[in-house]
Amino acid sequence: MLVYRIALARFSDALFASGRAARWNSNDSYVIYTASSISLACLENVVHRNKLGLNASFKVLYIDIPDDLLQTEIHQDELPSKWHHFENIPLTQFLGNEWLINQQTAVLKVPSSIIPQEFNYLLNPKHADFKAVKLLKAEPFIFDERIKA
């Protein structure tokens, strides 16, 4: 399965986890966020950056997750109705941190908080199976200038 990540060009030569808190992990929990499509990866960036932040040099990373690699999935119906609201981030961080701590799988499939019918795939670089995940290529990515115009 191909998944995608849009990252600053200086972080595009390897699969890099910053350890910064995000929706599904707390600080110092190392997770690589990817998306099921380039357009979803773009949208995930757009909601987290201001207009000036979109002017930086980016690349889209093409990442292969082997089809036979086990995944853990958090289904939307397992989450409260307003799970995607800011005040519920501690809940989603708890779930993601539990997945990391328990070393269940190298991949966690979660609904996108922007488009819940689509999915993000979180990668655990400390899991033994992570070595099977491959960065295939990185290509320049330019955000359309009409975004956040």
Rg over CA atoms, the chain:
15
pLDDT of residue 49: 75
What mean pLDDT is predicted for residues 69-79? 96
How does 22-35 read in b/e, with b if 16+ C-beta sit within 10 Å?
bbbbbeebebbbbb
pLDDT of residue 53: 67
What mean pLDDT is predicted for residues 56-65? 94
Residue 105 near residue 70, CB atoms below 8 Å: yes
Residue 143 near residue 50, CB atoms below 8 Å: no
Q: What length does the chain have?
A: 149
Give the residue ranges of DSSP H helices in 11-145: 38-48, 89-102
Confidence of residue 110 (pLDDT cuts 50, 70, 90): very high
As a whole number of angstroms, the distance between CA 149 and CA 145 comes to 7
Residues 6+ apart with CB under 8 A from 46: 54, 143, 147, 148
Question: Is the per-residue pLDDT at 6 higher than 80?
Answer: yes
- Using DSSP, state whether 86 is helix, strand or coil: helix
pLDDT of residue 55: 72
pLDDT of residue 51: 63
As a whole number of angstroms, the distance between CA 59 and CA 82 comes to 32
Average pLDDT over the chain, rounded to an integer: 93
pLDDT of residue 143: 85
Residue 132 CA to its chain's centroid (Å): 17
The rounded percent of the chain whose pLDDT value lies above 90 is 86
What mean pLDDT is predicted for residues 81-95? 95
3-state helix, strand, coil in the chain (%, to 5): 30, 30, 45
